[in-house]
Structure 1
Amino acid sequence: MQPVEWKTFIAQFAALSRRQRLASATLLRGAGSQNAAVALVESVARQRLHCPACNSSHAHRHGHAHGLQRYRCVPCGRTFNALTGTPLARLRHKTLWLAYAACLLASASVRQAARQLNVHRNTAFRWRHRFLTLARTDRPLCLHGIAEADELYVLESEKGSRHLARPARRRGGHARQRGISSEQVCIVVARDRTGQTLDFVTGKGALTKVQLHACLPPVIDKDVLLVTDGHAAYRAFAAEAGISHQAVNLHAGIRVQGAAHVQNVNAYHSRLREWLRIFHGVASRYLPSYLGWRWILDAGRIRSPEALLKATVGAFPHLTVT
């Protein structure tokens, strides 16, 4: 700022009200990061301002609370703010939200994020799942053309549970039975040649055609070519669903048959497994959140902390793929 501009700026302070002076002093004391997060959240709220109780858009300002503009609904009289009804409602430390969003985009563990932000690890864990509540739902609506599908298995985990249905394992651990068993959770990943990816946690044990019927028909075109390995469940599902299907006999060492292969989906599996190792075992009940997190990172759907914060409060219609 030039000296002349600075003098003009200072002269304007005399015209400020007491409340405006206090707000200016707070900003100068270092509340800029909180203001950045709050301003971002408030800007999203103004674009879709409505009462979470009656859905009316007829509301007026009603003071401030917890650093946020409060609104009062005219028809029903309920008060609300920009975070009401969002995953971030009632959370504190708004000054740290953008920094924490950056930790998520960097795949930081709970303890790493807690140390970096100087918060308790339980706070970092709670924030992780709040931030991923809405962002993880951003998925392509349908797969087109050639779609590859394959399953991978991860060790079933009751990490964090107070009461275990089995003897406790050391962190990470290994299955007690060989091969595919109820100790493992199946994840089906379907991916078309444009990179659009869908994943489904189908449950414990080996994949069945019933599970495929429950997850794949709503998200693949009828004229899609489904390419898989030789698993019998895919063949039975495709025949019953009337979908074109081609199997690649991986056991015979055949990986590519013309345009038919499952290398794209297997590469995604490899990246997913390597990424999951960071967390030393993920609780099975949280797998959908982690799969959504991985999709966000792998596809580059959200590239900045600001975009992730906006997605968390529901402002991500531009990310939807059709």
Structure 2
Amino acid sequence: MAHIHRPGLFIELMRNMLDPNETPLSCRKMAHRLGLSKDTVWRWRMVILEHLASVPPEVMTGIVETDETYQRESRKGSREWVRKAANPNDPSIPTPPRRRWKDYGRKGPPQAIVRQWLLPILGVVDRTGAASFQLIADTKQPTIDAALAPQVAGDAMMLFDGAPQYEAIARARGLSYKVLIAGRRSRTTPKAFHLNSVNGLHAEWKSDFRTPFRGPATKYLAGYARWMVARRKGDAVEAFRAILA
């Protein structure tokens, strides 16, 4: 807040972003409401997302569900294709690493190409509603272990699908766990053992939250994932305090 010259408007933007009872507006619409330029609103939004990164994760207890989902890599707003097309023989301008997604036409790119550019996002939820949703580098055991370690209590009961790295992590940390093959319960599995909560978190990201923004660019993806979780807490005042602390 030290470098924000109009703190009242900044707090109004923060309320729109974090209050679960209010639909977050686009930068253009929020700028119109506040009487600011859309560039200022965008810059303030990035300040808020940056501060969300400093909020420590909640420690989840009881039954904890975990699973990953994926999002296609996005370079929305990038000018690298335009620059290269304008100067194809200039060695100082690097060649883009892939074609633009829209260049593949209505059918879209082949799945083999899409899979090369999928980014994993790890979802973790307990039955009290505490959740985290974070972009991770890959789905290897050390990466997932590092992400789970600070947010899963030592006496938690972990639920996950058949991915072997989760079971290896639970065994190594001495955690109770249950493997739900393909996310499904068997006839003998207690009804409390399911992955509905973490699947709901993934569905919320893919439909309700992400859709209005047409999918954030990859360089902002981690911040947007934290933003969604902050809105889920249901207490905008608590989120404000965490950011302003």
| TM-score strictly above 0.5 | yes
Report Cα offsets for 1:131-169 as digits up to 9, x if no partner.
232245435442112110011111111223343432223
Mapped pair 1:240 → 2:172: yes
SS in structure 1 of the partner of residue 101 of structure 2: coil
- The alignment's C-alpha RMSD in Å is 2.9
SS of the residue corresponding to residue 181 of structure 1 reads helix
> SS at the partner of 1:138?
coil
TM-score normalized by structure 1?
Answer: 0.60
**Quick one: which amino acid aligns to residue 286 of structure 1?**
Y
The aligned counterpart of 1:223 is: 155
Q: Which has the higher relative contact order, 1 or 2, with Cα contacts under 8 A spaced 6 or more apart? A: 2
Match of 1:250 among 152, 158, 182: 182
Aligned ranges 1:99-114 → 2 under 5 Å: 99-105=12-18, 106-114=23-31
Residue 276 of structure 1, CA deviation: 0.6
Amino acid at match of 1:268: L
After superposition, give the CA deviation of every residue in 1:66-120 in whole Å (9 maximum; x if it has no partner).
xxxxxxxxxxxxxxxxx44xxxx1x444453233234324311222222333433
Matched, 1:262 2:195: yes
* Conserved 8 A contact 1:255-1:262: no
Q: Quote the residue 2:39 is aligned against.
A: 122
Partner of 1:313: 244
Kindly indicate whether the alpha-carbon contact (under 8 Å) linking 1:175 and 1:183 is maintained by their aligned counterparts in 2: no
Rounded to whole Å, the distance in 2 between the matches of 1:263 and 1:256 is 18
SS of residue paired to 1:221: coil
Question: Which structure 1 segments of 5+ residues have no match?
Answer: 1-82, 315-322
Normalised TM-score (structure 2): 0.77
- Structure 1 residue 187: Cα displacement: 0.6
Which has the greater radius of gyration? 1
Counterpart of 2:234?
300
* Deviations 1:22-55, CA, capped at 9 Å, x for gaps: xxxxxxxxxxxxxxxxxxxxxxxxxxxxxxxxxx
Shift of 1:202: 1.1
Question: Which stretch has the larger CA shift, 290-299 or 130-139?
Answer: 130-139
Q: How does 1:204-223 map to 2 (within 5 A)?
A: 207-223=139-155
Letter of the aligned partner of 1:226 in structure 2? M
In the aligned structure 2, how far is the partner of 1:300 from the partner of 1:135?
15
Q: Is the 8 A contact 2:58 2:131 kept in 1?
A: no
Contact kept? 2:71, 2:120, Cα under 8 Å: yes
Larger proportion of strand: 1
Return 5+ residue gaps in structure 2 as ranges.
81-95
Distance 1:138 1:298, change over 3 A: same
**How far apart in 2 are the matches of 1:228 and 1:110?**
37
Question: How many matched pairs?
Answer: 221
